[in-house]
Chain A
Amino acid sequence: MRKTSTLERIRLLGRVGIDVVATLGRSTVFLLRALFGRGTAGNPLQLTIRQLYSVGVMSLAIIVVSGIFIGMVLSLQGFNILSDYGSEQAVGQMVALTLLRELGPVVTALLFAGRAGSALTAEIGNMKSTEQLSSLEMIGVDPLKYIIAPRLWAGFISMPLLAVIFSVVGIWGGAMVAVDWLGVYEGSFWSNMQNSVSFREDVLNGVIKSIVFGFVVTWIAVFQGYDCEPTSEGISRATTKTVVYASLAVLGLDFILTALMFGDF
């Protein structure tokens, strides 16, 4: 009896493994076909611009508001700790480095997964369940080209821009708190920041991170929508999956990227 149950567990493990590999394979084929497959439908630029609006511009509000608050909180917390050592003027450096290297790309990616990612999944899932994707196919238009590819590109382009905007707004929020409210001398706030932030190592590495996150989050969101079970239950499950998988992927990748980029410290 016990023996069969162990065997059964091994079988279940094997099945999970096969499922994971199969999904990875399907999603890779899906991605390659959407991005590099032949045949176009409509004007790809026009379609991408439309998606840039719904993916990027519509996410701006949440990104800007969260950016300001996170910058302000960082500044406040940093000031409290740094003032113990009498180095309040380093608060600018702290806020800027934290935002550029970590919080900018990561928080933006998490917010993006929640705001735009879930919307993408739900939208595509809905198109699938109402047979719009099938109907495109039967009209002779490849939905991968017409629906999926513009959304992928829009996500890839939006994320780094959103992350950069997030960082700038956050630094501005931090400066407001530190300089205007807590009375850190403005000159030393900025010069400290400028001395310690390097464009290539900090700003560009942050941008690279957000490009990777944008790629992964959009890929997950769009694939989950395309691959979902075409029922309302299936769509809601796929939406949840998008947010969970995308968040986990972002956090995991962040560690790997950080280790690669800043590991020699």
Chain B
Amino acid sequence: MQNRTLEIGVGLFLLAGLLALLLLALRVSGLTVGGSGDTYKVYAHFDNIAGLTVRARVTMAGVTIGKVTAIDLDRDSYTGRVTLLLDDSVDNLPIDSTASILTAGLLGEKYVGISVGGDEEVLVEGGTIYDTQSSLVLEDLIGKFLLNSVNKDEAK
């Protein structure tokens, strides 16, 4: 009898642990069952990737369709080469789509947004997105703003 309650207790404990792990997976990390299917890889070259990190989201129309898996410098063109891992379900991206580095909110994380192009040809595994828009660098922006105001002052 005592053995029975003990075993039930242990069973409940193990169950609670597994349930907790399941909760973490589904509720907390938003893991979708079966969603992690096949993917394909494309590259995008940016003049400046400032602030973008590995694991950042790749979105289209606000929907997450992939993630950044690697960032490195392309030695020949002196640009940042970002490797994007995209969902196989989105296999109809035109080859002239635009990739831009965006910021979620004023101080939020950086992510890659893709806006669709018009070409008939679509991106395939190993393809490259040429039309890119670099990260907004605050210092450049401030610099431009100051320059503008100086120019205006001179014009007066």
| B6: Cβ under 8 A from any A Cβ | yes
Name the A residues within 8 Å of B137 (CB-CB).
none
Chain A residue, CB-CB nearest to B7: A49
Whole-angstrom CA separation of A199 from B107 in the bound complex: 24
Residue from the list B6, B20, B24 in contact with A50, Cβ < 8 A: B6
In the A-B complex, list the 7 residue pairs whose CB atoms are closest, starting with the nearest: A161-B17, A194-B30, A199-B29, A168-B20, A197-B29, A164-B20, A199-B31
Q: Are B107 and A56 in contact (CB under 8 A)?
A: no
Can you list 15 contacts pairing A with B, beta carbon distance less than 8 Å?
A53-B10, A56-B13, A87-B105, A87-B108, A100-B28, A161-B16, A164-B21, A165-B20, A168-B24, A171-B28, A190-B27, A199-B25, A199-B29, A201-B55, A264-B54
A45-80: CB near B (< 8 Å → 1, else 0) gives: 000011011001100100000000000000000000
Task: Report how far A119 CA is from B69 CA in the complex, Å.
Answer: 46
Q: Which chain A residues border B16 with CB–CB below 8 Å?
A: 60, 161, 165
Residues in chain A within 8 A of chain B (CB atoms):
49-50, 52-53, 56-57, 60, 85, 87, 96, 100, 158, 160-162, 164-165, 167-168, 171, 190, 193-199, 201-203, 207, 264-265
| Contact between chains at A265 and B53 (CB < 8 Å) | yes
Number of B positions contacting A (CB below 8 A): 28
Question: Helix, strand, loop or mixed for chain B's interface?
Answer: helix
Given contacts A161-B16, A201-B55, contact A53 B28 (CB under 8 A): no
Q: Is the CB of A85 within 8 A of B107?
A: yes
From B7, B30, B105, A197 is in contact (CB under 8 Å) with B30
Q: Count A-B contacts at CB 8 Å.
A: 78
Shortest A151–chain B CB gap in Å is 14
Please, how many angstroms separate the alpha-carbon atoms of A165 and B23 in the complex?
10
Q: Which of A56, A160, A161, A203 contacts B28 (CB 8 A)?
A: A203
- The docked-state distance in angstroms from the alpha carbon of A207 to that of B30 is 17
List, in ascending order, chain B residues with CB within 8 A of A56's CB: 10, 13
- Give min CB distance, A179 to chain B, whole Å: 14
B contact residues around A49 at 8 Å (CB): 6-7, 10
In the complex, which residue of chain A has the Cβ closest to the Cβ of B54?
Answer: A264
Whether A87 lies near B107 (C-beta < 8 A) is yes
Rounded to whole angstroms, the CA-CA distance of A161 and B57 in the bound complex is 30
Closest CB in chain B relative to A53 CB, distance in Å: 5
**Chain A CB within 10 A, most for which of B12, B14, B20:** B20
From residue B133, how far is it (CB to closest CB) to chain A in Å?
22
In the bound complex, CA of A197 to CA of B55 (Å)? 11
Q: Is the CB of B29 within 8 A of A202?
A: yes
Q: Are A165 and B17 within 8 A (Cβ)? A: yes
Q: A264 contacts which chain B residues (CB < 8 A)?
A: 54
Query: Which chain B positions have C-beta within 8 A of A160?
Result: 17
CA distance A219 to B134 in the complex (A): 52
A194 and B13 contact, Cβ closer than 8 Å, known pairs A87-B107, A164-B21, A167-B20? no
Q: What's the minimum C-beta distance from B85 to chain A, rounded to whole angstroms?
A: 13
* A208 vs chain B, min Cβ distance (A): 13
CA distance A57 to B9 in the complex (A): 7
Q: Quick check: A57 and B13 within 8 Å, CB to CB? A: yes
Instruction: List chain B residues, Cβ under 8 A from A85.
Output: 107
Q: Tell me the complex Cα distance, A147–B14, Å.
A: 22
Q: What is the bound-complex CA distance between A168 and B53, given in angstroms?
A: 28
Q: Is the CB of A60 within 8 A of B57?
A: no
Residues of A within 8 A of B31 (CB): 199
B107 to chain A, nearest CB (A): 7
Chain B residue contacts of A194, Cβ below 8 A: 27-30
A195 touches B10 (CB 8 A): no
User: In the complex, which of the residues B7, B14, B23 contacts A168, with contact meaning CB atoms closer than 8 Å?
Assistant: B23
